[in-house]
Amino acid sequence: MRFVCALVIALFPLTLAHAQEHADKVLLNGKILTLDKDFSVKEALAIRDGRIVATGTNADMQRHAGDKTQRIDLAGRTVIPGLTDMHLHGIRAALTYSLEVSWIGVPSLAEALARIKAAAQKAAPGQWIIVAGGWTDIQFKEKRKPTQAEIVVASPDNPVYIQHLYEWVLMSPRAFAEMQISGDADLPKFGKLVRDDSGKPTGEIEGNGVTFTALFNKLPRPNFAQEVEGTKAFFRELSRLGITGFIDPAGVSVGPASYQPLYSIWQDKEQTVRVAYTISSQKPGAELEDYKALTQLMPSGFGDDMLRFAGIGEIVTWAAWTDGDPSDEAMTKLEEIIRWAAQKRMGFQIHWNPERTVDKLLTILERVNAETPIGDLRWWIDHLYDASDRSLARMKALGIAWGVQDSLYFNAATFKKMFGVAVAERSPPVKNALAMGLMVGAGTDAHRVSNYNPFVSLRWFINGKTIDGAEAIGETQHPSRAEALRMYTLNSAWFAHDDDKRGSLEAGKYADLAVLNKDYMNVPDEEIGSIESVLTLLGGRVVYSADPYAQLEGK
């Protein structure tokens, strides 16, 4: 008897260890796009402790299952790695998300106005009705913007503010009264009231990014609790679209207080999307001093796998950002910051347009690199849609990557008028960049200036067709579906210094993935933009689910 007891005690740790090796979840009967180096497609996948154990056949993965393993039947559905938008103003968008009316993807002006009416009917007296952007009149079947009369009918008792990109704002009379705007002199810099032929104001305001940033900042702000709830709700919306991570480029009106709601849900372990964030100084002319002060206790890379500080950008200096052809003085100040960032081994990304002035930036980067090598820092340039092959080659030589957003999906017509047909047909030159071996990541620049839906962006990359259905990008620059998906997964994870942890569905990596409602690799191009996730996992945990997986939420 003593021998038997001793044998049981001796074998117990082995039995316990074997039980612990069982997968927490096994996904079966699917089409799993692993995004490994061979773009392998697998049938099943096993998850344990938030990470992928293995991929393979159903039979192989069943061997990882035990009595307590959750088995999920994919029923032939396509699974992709969780998407990472490498240029999403998600922190700012989340702050006001709970108070906004979204026109993103709305197909008609009639439906858009109906959303205003529905929001007004639910709103408290005097509460503002706000459409913050992410739409364009081209998406409406009516092919026009709303009028002031139409928004007054939709919302007679609540002030209405509707922003179109950084180009135009429409407000109701009550909104003008609340803001005490009666003439051009009451508007922020560069703003101008639009008037009809008789000189009467139409309710529209024209301006630029400076104008509408200042104007938006005059709107009532949500309280902290509303900002927290807005952040949670916006992150859930991203999960619905298969996004499990994004890089936030900071930018306009994103100061230290803007990050507090995100920090709150991170501390409370309620964060459902991984975020790498940067900072932009909000002190024009004193940016370097501001960066030095803000980063004393926050080295680049500080944080964890859910929330990490990624450095400085996208408005590195205001003078270089607001001027299409920055002065020598502006470039000297920018060089000081770039040199400091290189010495500090600080993450760095910068907004730059257009090609005709990028030589100024690349020359500085080359000069700094000769003193302090930057090739291993994973720095990048955002936008630069009309990049020449020469500029791309200089970036490649420096180890500078390229972040490409889908803004031309919305404003290709304007771009074509500015730069000509020949330039527009090769912009952005994604295929050329990939052929050079340049690291290219994909994003949206949402939500003021574009739609945050990654599948709309993927469709645009793949077929080059803009929101009005016209083809703006020549076929020579269309990436394949596999290349485009890699730009939105493994490549974008590289920008976040996370490509060894996520971005592909391989053993050892986080189980960040999305089960799609359509087959990304085989549906017609026109249907790619309508793809959504029906099951999104972050670290193996369900953060979004819809039929037929609705019962799995939170498991």
Per the listing, tokens 């810099």 go with 189
Taking only the tens place, the pLDDT of each residue in 188-215 is: 999 999 999 999 999 999 998 889 989 9
Taking only the tens place, the pLDDT of each residue in 102-128 is: 998 899 999 999 999 999 999 999 999
pLDDT of residue 376: 97
Is the pLDDT confidence value at 534 over 90?
A: yes
Query: Per the omega criterion (within 30 degrees of 0), is the bond before 428 cis?
Result: yes
What is the model's pTM?
Answer: 0.93
pLDDT of residue 469: 83
Is the pLDDT confidence value at 18 over 60?
A: no
Positive or negative: CA dihedral 406, 408, 410, 411:
positive
Confidence band, pLDDT 50/70/90 cuts, at residue 415: confident
pLDDT of residue 554: 76
Nearest to 244, CA basis, from 200, 223, 216, 274: 274
Taking only the tens place, the pLDDT of each residue in 465-489 is: 988 888 788 889 999 999 999 999 9
User: What value does the mean pLDDT take over residues 333-338?
Assistant: 98
Confidence band, pLDDT 50/70/90 cuts, at residue 20: low
CB 76 within 8 A of CB 29: yes
In whole angstroms, what is the distance from residue 105 CA to residue 271 CA? 26
Confidence band, pLDDT 50/70/90 cuts, at residue 15: very low
DSSP 459-504: HHHHH-B-TTS-B-S-GGGPPPHHHHHHHHTHHHHHHTT-TTTSSS
pLDDT of residue 12: 44
pLDDT of residue 475: 86
pLDDT of residue 2: 52
pLDDT of residue 4: 47
Provide the β-strand partners of residue 70.
25
Taking only the tens place, the pLDDT of each residue in 236-258 is: 999 999 999 999 999 988 999 99
Q: Where are the beta strands (DSSP E) in 264-340?
A: 274-279, 307-312
CATH topology match: 2-76 vs 224-538: no
When mean pLDDT is compared across 19-23, 42-46, 246-250, 502-506, the lowest value belongs to 19-23
Q: Please list, residue by residue across 163-190, b when 16 or more beta carbons sit within 10 angstroms of its beta carbon and e when fewer do.
A: bbbbbbbbbbebbbebbebeeeeebbee
- For domain 2-76, is the CATH number 3.90.1640.10? no
Q: In this structure, which amino acid lies at residue 204?
A: E
pLDDT of residue 17: 41
pLDDT of residue 30: 98
pLDDT of residue 350: 97
pLDDT of residue 323: 65
Instruction: Report which of residues 500 and 419 the model is more confident about.
Output: 500
**224-538 CATH, one of 3.40.640.10, 3.30.470.20, 3.90.1300.10, 3.20.20.140:** 3.20.20.140
pLDDT of residue 260: 98
In whole angstroms, what is the distance from residue 39 CA to residue 346 CA? 33
Is the pLDDT confidence value at 1 over 80?
A: no
Per the listing, tokens 């709970």 go with 98
Distance from the Cα of residue 189 to its chain's centroid: 28
Is the pLDDT confidence value at 523 over 60?
A: yes
Is the pLDDT confidence value at 131 over 90?
A: yes
pLDDT of residue 470: 82
Average pLDDT, the chain: 94
Taking only the tens place, the pLDDT of each residue in 363-413 is: 999 999 999 999 999 999 999 999 999 999 999 999 999 999 998 888 888
Percent of the chain with pLDDT strictly greater than 90: 85
When mean pLDDT is compared across 236-240, 267-271, 318-322, 541-545, the lowest value belongs to 318-322
Domain-wise residue ranges, the chain: 2-76, 224-538
User: What value does the mean pLDDT take over residues 342-361?
Assistant: 96
